[in-house]
Amino acid sequence: MAGTFELYTDKSGEYRFTLKASNGEPIASGEGYSSKSAALAGIESVRRNAADAEVVER
């Protein structure tokens, strides 16, 4: 089973998302967005960029 993005509205009315692994554990979360469409664009950005993201040790 693949991971899932959960889209929700927080207590202050902002849209947020959490990426959860197949076991249900959260592995990433998004910032607060003022609109649902902006949050969905954030999800699409993660989908596009995560596969090729470089790992940088700090």
CATH superfamily of 4-50: YegP-like (3.30.160.160)
Distances (CA, A) of 57 to 29, 33, 54: 20, 29, 10
pLDDT in tens, the chain (58 residues): 689 999 999 999 999 999 999 999 999 999 999 999 999 999 999 999 988 899 999 9
Q: What is the pTM of this model?
A: 0.84
Residue-range domain boundaries for the chain: 4-50
